[in-house]
Amino acid sequence: MTLCAMMFFALVSCTDIPQEVQITDTQLLWIVNKNNPIDENFKPSSLTEHQGVKLHTEARDAFIKMKEAMQTDGIGGLRLQSAYRPYHYQRAIFDQRVKELKQKGLTNDEAAYKASQSIQRPGSSEHQTGLALDVSINGVLNQSFADTDAGKWIDENCHNFGFVIRYPEFKTEVTQIIYEPWHLRYVGNPHASIMKENNLTLEEYWSFIKESGMYIVWHDDKEYTLVVYANEKPTTGEIISVSSNTQKNATEYIVTH
């Protein structure tokens, strides 16, 4: 049991123990892609701003800590280029690309298909969750970021701050997105560290926890966190956090105890 779980237990034991407690979906492990779009009206409840860029508050705090740690290691200049993008913004950049392609002679369907290979269709971009961050050191988002000191540092260390490189190299078949070393997704810990240790994308992490049923993360000889798969949202128990798999029609849950 972790300290958090003990504190939670102590808290509920000194009041009336509820039969069912309201457990919030942290949304941290949502899969958002073309097969799992999010609602047009979805807006994260916890949005904040960092250097003029809006993002999820927890992701912002983690980003600041990560940037400080990078600076301590002598690597400066990391910029947050983009994070939260509302549906209508994604719609506008997608439609603009379709328009350009149609002007080159493509039909509407052809243009939409071609556009979707480089720009996520509206609702399919995880930027709408506020949990996805595009980072750079020179304002350019391309694969050469992986070869910079900042890119290498992030690859090695970002999991310690709850981030993963969401579209890794050699995982395009799983994610359906090209290698994007600049696109980080905040999933929190212990999830980011388990994904890093086992070389898993977010899609693969869900299957991995489902197949394992339960995964134990030891913090030392006595303290541990349990990561458990569930096909129903739990309403009781000593729970640290719960995330569903998707925003719409969720059928699976990852619970940490």
Question: Of 161 and 182, which has the nearer Cβ to Zn ion?
Answer: 182
Binding mask 143-182 for Zn ion (x = CB under 5 A): ----------------------------------------
Question: Of 150 and 228, which has the nearer Cβ to Zn ion?
Answer: 150
| Helix, strand, or coil (residue 222) | coil
CB of 224 to Zn ion, least distance (A): 33
CB of 103 to Zn ion, least distance (A): 26
CB of 50 to Zn ion, least distance (A): 16
Dihedral angle of Cα 17, 217, 158, 208, to the nearest 10 degrees: -100
CB of 30 to Zn ion, least distance (A): 15
Tell me, yes or no, if 180 is annotated catalytic. yes
Question: Of 30 and 253, which has the nearer Cβ to Zn ion?
Answer: 30
Residue with tokens 């999991």: 159
How would you classify the pairing of strands 183-186 and 163-165?
A: antiparallel
Sign of the CA dihedral with 95 first, then 96, 99, and 100 last: negative
CB of 132 to Zn ion, least distance (A): 5
Alpha carbons within 13 angstroms on the beta-carbon side of residue 80 total 24
Of these, 67, 87, 90, 134, which contacts Zn ion (CB under 5 A)? Answer: 134
Question: Of 132 and 194, which has the nearer Cβ to Zn ion?
Answer: 132
Question: Of 134 and 252, which has the nearer Cβ to Zn ion?
Answer: 134
What DSSP line would sit under 90-141, residue for residue?
HHHHHHHHHHHHHHTT--HHHHHHHHHTTSPPTT--GGGGT-EEEEESSS--
User: What is the total count of residues that contact Zn ion (CB under 5 A)?
Assistant: 2
Q: Order across the sheet with 132-136: list the strands.
A: 79-82, 132-136, 183-186, 163-165
Q: Is 126 in the site for Zn ion (CB under 5 A)?
A: no
Catalytic residue among 58, 126, 180, 238: 180
| Helix, strand, or coil (residue 224) | strand
Which two three-digit tokens encode residue 56? 């999820």
Residue nearest to Zn ion (CB): 183
Stretch that binds Zn ion, among 18-26, 30-38, 65-73, 133-141 (CB under 5 A): 133-141
Q: Is 183 in the site for Zn ion (CB under 5 A)?
A: yes
- Cβ contacts of 143 within 8 Å, gap of 6 or more: 179, 180, 181
- Which of the residues are catalytic? 180
List of residues contacting Zn ion (CB under 5 A): 134, 183
